[in-house]
Structure 1
Amino acid sequence: MKKAVIYTRVSSEEQVKGNSLSEQQLKCRYFIKSKDGDITGVYVDGGRGGETKERPELQRMLEDAKKGIFDAVVVYKIDRLSRSLRDFLEIQDYLANLNVELISVSETYDTSTPQGRLFVNMLGSFAEFEREQIKERINMGQIASMKKGNWKGSPPYGYDVKNKKLAINKKEAEIVKRIFKIFTDNYGSVDRITIKQAQKIVNGWNVPTKRAYDKRFKKTIPNYWHTSSIYSIIKNPIYTGNTFIRKITKNTNPKIDVKKVIRPKSEWIPLSVPQVIADKTFEKCQIVLRKNSEFALRKGKPESETMLNKLVYCSDCGKKFHICNRVSYNQEYKKAVYYCKGIKNPIRERRCYAKSFISTRLEKPLWEKLTEIITRPEVLNKYVNRQLEGETREENQYKTDIQELEQSLQEARLKKERLFNLYISGKNDVVYYKGKEQELTKEEDRFLDKINDLKQSNLLLDGLKRKSLDFGVLYKKLKNNLNLINISYKDKCRITKLLVER
């Protein structure tokens, strides 16, 4: 061994601050000097895990080996080089092909003999086994911490981490409420509020983002909000006070071309945090977003809006009718052909055979009926009042049913917690625990689904009330100059989508 280099590695930043790296390097230096070798370089990967080869100093060392700068690589232990058997064997073969010797200070072996090569492979296998054990212990510790309500990672906007738990940041929470209000004020209206429009409003407030003063994001403009930041806030259920964590995991299936996948519901961990907005506000916001998606004018199709587009449903298969063959007259009135989306189903057995129809066949009689309602508001008021009387009774029933289901859900969760405590204390075996835990999880999911369905129905009732109020505003605007004969097609579309749900 004439020319040798030292490679050292530790996994965490805490170890970097400690003496582990210097101790490894010191023992490697003593070893090389005892063999009368010269130290030509030291490669240090601090805070890097051994499960991958993607480490800057390791890659630099492999590149230098190709240049013939040294004859041997000295490590304190084999697992410092890699904790993956496959990666270790690849590195070993790579160095052997370049006539570079791999030496471990702690483990003595001779790779020139079959016994030595077997011993090295065994060391690599043990290193990989140890890595898997460490990973499992860390995961168990993190899961236990999450079940106690502790937060892992950076907090979402509106919260700070105090004593490992989320606490409300009052200034940021007010901004969150204002962002949600932008969308909920638009609930039940045909005037869409898009994420892009909301972005302009929020940037006009001149408030800092979460990353504004974070040193890790030096290039971030403090008061500039991206659309993705606003979208992540209004789609995050954590602001309602109850959410699930540990829902996403890395994809290990090579057949699926995505980086992350959703875990099974049984592996999700419920988390309760201080509430920023009401459940109803969040659900209203989700309905507004869904309506935005349904009635959005797609890129490249600026003239795709018609009176009943995405409001007509097929009576055979239940899918929406879409439009094709749009024809414009005097840049005002349009004639289109409506067709069922189900006719394009590639599976013959599921294909729909509903006939297409020209838009005038439905739009003309519908508009005549709507004109009668608009010119005679007492007809609409009578209908709406009759509907709302029944809906008030239904709404009260919905609230009672939701309260009963939430109580049953709480009881199921308490049973699950008691079962876990009995298992921890050793009174139940693992087979009984897993079987019973799966039953309780299914019961919990069933209650959650029923609660969500009832809340959704309740919101639809609320939507009709809001639509009635919106119509009143619209009528007041039009009553002074209500010329429904020469009304533009665009205004016809707006009024129709305000009054017609489906």
Structure 2
Amino acid sequence: MNVHTSSASSEYRFIAIYCRVSTDDQVKEGTSLEDQESRLLSYCTAMGWKDTPVLFIDDGYSAKDTDRPQLKKLVEAVKNGEVSKVLVTKLDRISRKLLDLLNLIDLFSEYDVSFISINESFDTNTPPGRLTLSVLGAVAEFERTRIRDRAYENMLHSAKKGKWLTQSPYGYRLEEKTLVIHENEANIVRDIYNMYLHKGLGFYAIARQLNEKGIPSRYNKEWSLRAVKLLLTNPIYKGTLAWNRVTVDEKHGKRVERDKEDWVIVDDAFPSIINKETWEDVQKKMKQVKIAPRAQTSPHLLGGILKCGRCGSGMSISWSGSKTKRYRLYRCSAYKNKGTCTSKPYRANKVEEWFKEGFKQLSTSIDTEMIPQLIETQQNETINNREKKLKNAEERYKRKVEAYTSGLIELSDLEKEKKQLDKVKEEASVKPDKIEQENLEKLQRELESKIKSIIDAIEILPVEETKPLLHTFVKKVIVYNEEEIEIVLHY
């Protein structure tokens, strides 16, 4: 049967009649297309609707899904604001699946379209119809929750076994449900970590450099700031599976991090592209105090990191002198903007010379002056990290005990969590002195190498290229008086 097309103008909306029959339905009494059409047209007449309805008829299509040509046309007409009512003889004419039916009804409601099924006396414009719709919605939501819970349990089981559950991340390919390293992309991943950690480039600068070189991200798309950040924070690159870390806040439509107790973490689950130490160093750097992008790109060596020794405020550049002999000054922002500090301005070239001289002295003072301080800093950081890790492990085990006593998990799951807790306790009991002494020579070499690289950069490269590297090492510079400064490192 052909579908009648509407010749109505856009000034009013038409009534849509939808009829469907599958091959099996044709042998059943009362479901023929002619019978459906006749009954629905009679209903329109009885209701006193004078406009000629427009027919949408799917002949020989099952209601197992919504992939039907005339149903698609009907949906398109609804979205175009052309329909006022949709009529069917029975609810199963439009869909046999409750979720599909409710999704269509939601769509009709969004465009202010009434949905009427004459057999069930169902009309979304009437109180009984809305009540029925609410009951159907509650049933559908219950079914959706059951499906989601089953999917969650299946994914949780797979994740604990180290199985990859989604599309492969950049740098990998999925072969027979196993992640394998894609070496060409893996080299780009290593370059990105190196640019961020050792060259001092930020997310935006890395993305720009990759795009300028014509290096595409996955699916031949350009790199973005967000893509670089996600790559640098993804633990998969150190071989760790971290599942169930984030969820979507439906109210705000944003990704939010779950409680750590709900994470599924499996170390050494996949081949790593980045070693664990490098990955952890990148995460530490991200947690450091951020320097404003404008300060990072300013043509002044200490912009963004120079602080006033009197009040602690940042010092910014201003200019002084005559039109022919202008010179730069570093002024305390509290003095400059608020008048609340009495610090005097300093000639910028002099402050930068003091800094360069002091920085060069670091290379000769590491062995005698800095080692005790570095050891103490490393010890304190190690102790704090272990305490946090132990606290999280104890809280996680407590939750597992509660889950076991409630019959939600098996004894084997609880025993596995207990072994993990014992392992964390054992790590926490090791004296940090011994650990830090073993890493001391490596730390010294790293410091010496960084200082030499920065000194070379200061002497050779433009300020704009030197500053990102400098900021990876120097946290702040405090000027107290003439030739009296303090250089504070990130270590």
Question: 1:414-433 maps to which residues of 2 (within 5 A)?
Answer: 419=401
Report the equivalent of 1:142: 155
Equivalent pair of 2:301/2:467 in contact (CA under 8 Å): yes
Question: Cα deviations across residues 425-484 of structure 1 (Å, max 9, x unaligned)?
Answer: 77989xxx9xx99xx7xx99x98xxx9xx99x9999776434432356369869xxxxxx
Percent of pairs with identical residues: 18
1:312 is paired with a residue of what secondary structure? Answer: strand
1:94 matched to 2:113: yes
Q: Name the stretch that deviates more: 228-237 or 201-210.
A: 201-210
CA contact (8 A) 2:232 2:282 kept: yes
CA shift in 2, pair 1:27/1:165, >3 Å: farther
Match of 1:129 in 2: 142
How far apart are the structure 1 equivalents of 2:464 and 2:188? Answer: 35
Deviation of 1:35 after TM superposition, in Å, equals: 3.2
Deviation readout 1:101-120 (Å, 9 max, x if unpaired): 3256xxx5566998787656
Whether the 8 Å CA contact 2:238–2:275 is kept in 1: the answer is yes
Q: How far 1:211 sits from its partner (Å)?
A: 0.8
Matched residue, 2:264: 269
Structure 1 residue 183 corresponds to structure 2 residue 181 = no
* 1:386 aligned residue: 368
In the alignment, structure 1 segments of 5+ residues that lack a partner are: 9-21, 50-54, 187-191, 213-219, 345-352, 479-487
Query: Which letter maps to 1:147?
Result: K
Which residue of the partner structure matches residue 337 of structure 1?
A: 331
Residues 132 and 237 (structure 1 numbering): CA distance in 2 closer, same or farther, change over 3 Å? closer
Distance 1:338 1:28 in 2: 88
Counterpart-to-counterpart distance in 2, 1:93 and 1:380: 73
1:79 aligned residue: 98
Structure 1 pair 334/166, CA: closer, same or farther in 2 (3 Å)?
same
**Are 1:280 and 2:277 counterparts?**
yes
Q: Secondary structure at the match of 2:329?
A: strand
* Aligned twin of 1:360: 346
Q: C-alpha distance in 1, partners of 2:157/2:382? A: 35
Amino acid at match of 2:146: Q
Residues 243 and 326 (structure 1 numbering): CA distance in 2 closer, same or farther, change over 3 Å?
Answer: farther
- Letter of the 1:72 partner, please give it: V
Contact 2:246 2:256 in 1 (8 A): yes
**CA distance 1:360–1:130, change in 2 (3 Å):** same
**1:435-446 superposed matches below 5 A:** none
Q: 1:242 aligns with which of 240, 243, 249?
A: 240
Q: CA deviation at 1:159?
A: 1.5
Structure 1 residue 239 displacement after superposition: 0.9
> 1:210 is matched with which residue: 196, 203, 218?
218
Q: Give the SS at the match of 1:357.
A: coil
Please tell me whether residue 193 in structure 1 is matched to residue 201 in structure 2.
Answer: yes
Tell me the CA shift for residue 275 of structure 1. Answer: 1.4
Paired with 1:29 and 1:64, the residues of 2 have a C-alpha distance of 35
For 1:334, give the aligned amino acid: R
What is the alpha-carbon distance in structure 2 between the residues aligned to residue 492 and residue 168 of structure 1? 34
Distance between the aligned counterparts of 1:139 and 1:495, measured in 2? 44
Checking the alignment, whether the CA contact within 8 Å between 2:247 and 2:255 is kept in structure 1 is: yes
**1:92-142, Cα deviation, whole Å (9 max, x unpaired):** 98326xxxx3256xxx55669987876565444433433333333333333
Alpha carbon RMSD of aligned pairs, Å? 6.0
Note closer, same or farther for the CA distance 1:405–1:61 as it changes in structure 2 (3 Å cut): same
Q: CA offsets per residue over residues 351-390 of structure 1, 9 Å max, x none?
A: xx962533319x688567557658xx7x655423213543
Partner amino acid, structure 2, of 1:275: S
Q: Distance in 1 between matches of 2:334 and 2:229?
A: 32
Shift of 1:236: 2.6
**Gapped runs of 5+ residues in structure 2?**
1-14, 39-54, 478-486
| Partner residue in 2 for 1:232 | 230
CA distance in 1, matches of 2:355, 2:227: 41
Change (3 A) 1:205 1:367: closer
Q: CA deviation at 1:157?
A: 0.5
Cα distance in 2 for partners of 1:114, 1:373 equals 81
1:19 is matched with: none
Output the CA distance in 1 between the equivalents of 2:289 and 2:409: 54
More displaced, 234-243 or 383-392? 383-392
- Native 8 Å contact 1:146 1:269 kept in 2: yes
- TM-score (ref. length: structure 1): 0.59
What's the CA shift string for 1:36-68, capped at 9, x where partnerless?
52663249998779xxxxx96663363689557
Q: By how many angstroms is 1:326 displaced?
A: 2.0
TM-score (norm 2): 0.60
Q: Which residue of 2 aligns with 1:31?
A: 31
Partner letter of residue 269 of structure 1?
V
3-state SS of 2:56 partner: strand
Q: Distance in 1 between matches of 2:401 and 2:308?
A: 48
1:155-210 Cα offsets, whole Å, 9 max, x none, are 21011224444332233222212332333442xxxxx5355554465457665542
Name which of 144, 154, 167 aligns with 1:154. 167
Aligned with 1:5 (options 5, 18, 30): 18
How far off is 1:244 after superposition? 2.8
Residue number in structure 1 paired with 2:5? none
Q: CA-to-partner distance for each residue in 1:230-261, whole Å, 9 max, x for gaps?
A: 443234332122253322222244xxx55332
* Pair 285,400 (structure 1): closer, same or farther in 2 beyond 3 Å: closer
Query: Structure 1 315/270 Cα, relative in aligned 2: closer, same or farther at 3 Å?
Result: farther
State the distance in 2 between where 1:466 and 1:70 align: 74
